[in-house]
Amino acid sequence: MSRPGAVEASQPDAGVAAHYGDPLREQRLLAGGTAVVDLSHRGVVTVAGEDRLNLLNTLSSQLLLDLKPGQSRETLLLTLQGRIEYDARIIDDGDTSWLIVESFEAEGLAAWLTSMKFMMRVEAVDATDRWAVVGAAAAQPGFEGRLGWQDPWPEIGAGGYAYTGIDEPEHPGRDLTWFEYLVPADELEDTLAGRELAGVWAAEALRIAAWRPRFGLETDEKTIPHELDLLRTAVHLAKGCYKGQETVARVHNLGHPPRRLVFLQLDGSQHTLPDAGSEVRLGERTVGRVTSAAQHYEMGPVALAVVKRSVDPAAQLVVVDGDESYDASQETIVAPDAGKVVGRPTGLLRGPR
């Protein structure tokens, strides 16, 4: 926030810059790999001890026992009903597992992991005050010695499953490679000195265009992973038992997720954006809510929304935010018939590798 022109973002990104005076230029530079974004408001949880991967593997949706130093994965911690409680980006350095999370997750996650370790040799610590995160859309020169998490999205991980129903080479997430580097908080200013900076608005626009869900925005207290296509990167369908696994397996094998994530191309004639939480309507009926919206440097106003599974993928929708309304063309992210793979003809959705 000390850089000239910095304008502070609102929640959930308060504490860092939304932009530095020219959001679309910043977005172009970020997309091209020549700018970085200050994500120092992100939470960081460290899990040390020789039993750390065993504990994390036991509690979460991802297979982590084989995680090698420097490898990046995503994992979820679920409720008994299979609803997403925490979403963690994880990288291990050989001694410590580093979990990058949203700012509001860190304290509760560290406390919960501590409460669940029992006799395991593990120490979980909320290290948010000592570590900062820097985001980038390309590997950064000069960051070679820093621990950096690389987003696996949209690759279908081992044991994963895609709910999109499109040919994988067409997935727009393939246009974005995303890194989150860990930097000691007291070195952040020196680390960013001399580098082009982009605000979080730029990062959010690229994320939305890549169909990448974000915890706390695309999720609510009822969200299950299937609704957001998170089985592709954050769930291993063949691993052992963990809390919430029964719901994950039941919906995947025998049912359908009740809601689905969609991408919306918005009418830009108002020169404004709808707020998160704005209604998505089909005719006079409310069928969902906008979860994220941004101005993309090439596509104009775009959004992610979660809608009822029954919504016709070809239907023209309208987003309503108070007195403003926005015509919205939808692109299917999670297919309406996703799930219920038992008895499904092969080739319709991408299965586990």
Q: Which residues participate in the annotated binding site for substrate?
A: 180
Partners of residue 327 on adjacent β-strands: 318
DSSP 271-330: S--PPTT-EEEETTEEEEEEEEEEEETTTEEEEEEEEETTS-TT--EEEEETTEEEEEEE
Strands (E), 109-178: 123-126, 131-136, 148-150
Which residue ranges are tagged as binding site? 180
Place of tokens 């209604």: 279
Both tokens of 347, joined, read 């080739």
Residue 123 neighbours by CB under 8 Å, 6+ apart:
46, 47, 48, 49, 114
DSSP 64-116: -TTPPTT-EEEEEEE-TTS-EEEEEEEEE-SSEEEEEE-TTTHHHHHHHHHHH
What phi and psi, each to the nearest 5 degrees, are found at residue 332?
Answer: -70, 125
Which element (helix H / strand E) includes 156? none
Burial of residue 207 (number of CB atoms within 10 Å: 0-12, 13-18, 19+): buried
Residue 140 neighbours by CB under 8 Å, 6+ apart:
36, 134, 179, 181
Both tokens of 161, joined, read 């499953």
Sheet containing 43-48: order of strands: 72-78, 84-92, 96-101, 43-48, 123-126
Q: How far apart are the first and last CA of the chain?
A: 43
DSSP 231-251: TTTS--TTS---TTHHHHHHH
Place of tokens 């949880």: 45
Partners of residue 43 on adjacent β-strands: 101
